[in-house]
Amino acid sequence: MAVWRFRGFKAEEVQSESCLLPLSQSLQPLLRPPIDCEFCMDVSSIKKVTNISSIEFSEKYAHTGRPVVVKDAARNWSATKVFSFEFFKGLYGPFSPVRGSNCQFFPYKTEFRNLSHVFTMDEDRVRQKQGTKPWYIGWSNCDSSAANILRHHYERPYFLSPDSESSNTDWIFMGSPGYGAHMHVSAHFIVIGNPELWHG
């Protein structure tokens, strides 16, 4: 279901209404506003930094559209040791709203209908064994009890200024290396896993 937000309406009111026509995944890119790619035309490499201050990050990268990899962005996070396919499968019990259609779910180029469907994946595909089909999915967490657990394992990245915008919604993306989402403009991602293998 496509969710459109209109000024003057509460999100719950809009989400509770059925769409006249369902918006298929294949049509969504056609209806997305055009993106001006000139800001990245001369990008030939992506800088990798560590121990960057919030002031330096803000001045050099935050509002410039220039890509950067902050290699120690998740320092001191327990998420790097805890988050896994099995962790999320256990976190979202059979009655969690995340498993159904209550939260946004992005199947990207997979056959998955929702997170419950993802959690039926066989072990070889989860482990991305040779010969298995690649996968990459994302979802918004709308389970408040799960949010409390998730936030024990991470905090605001140290290089973001305290007054930078943040969302109350956790977004989680996971899957096979090299099989990520389309380009995101003005997005911050923390990669947990082997960054040498991640190309999303």
* pLDDT tens digits, one per residue of 123-132: 999 999 999 9
pTM of the model: 0.72
DSSP character string of 114-168: SHHHHTT--HHHHTT-TTSPP-EEEEE---HHHHHHHTTS--S-TTS-TTS---S
Pairing label, strands 68-70, 47-49: parallel
Q: Please, are residues 180 and 200 in contact by the beta-carbon 8 Å criterion?
A: yes
Cα(147)–Cα(92) distance, rounded to whole angstroms? 10
Q: What is the pLDDT of residue 169?
A: 83
What would the pLDDT profile of 154-196 be if each residue is shown by its tens digit? 988 899 888 877 777 888 989 887 776 665 555 556 666 554 4
pLDDT in tens, 62-119: 877 778 889 998 888 999 899 999 999 999 999 999 998 778 999 988 999 999 999 9
18 has pLDDT over 60: no
CA angle 179, 88, 123 (to 5 degrees): 65
Query: Could you tell me which residue, 79 or 200, shows the higher pLDDT?
Result: 79
Q: Look at the alpha carbons of 118, 120, 121, 123 in this order and tell me if their dihedral is positive or negative.
A: positive
For the residues of 17-52, what is the DSSP string, one character each?
SPPSS---TTTHHHHSPP---GGGTT--S-EEESS-
Token pair belonging to 166: 């943040």
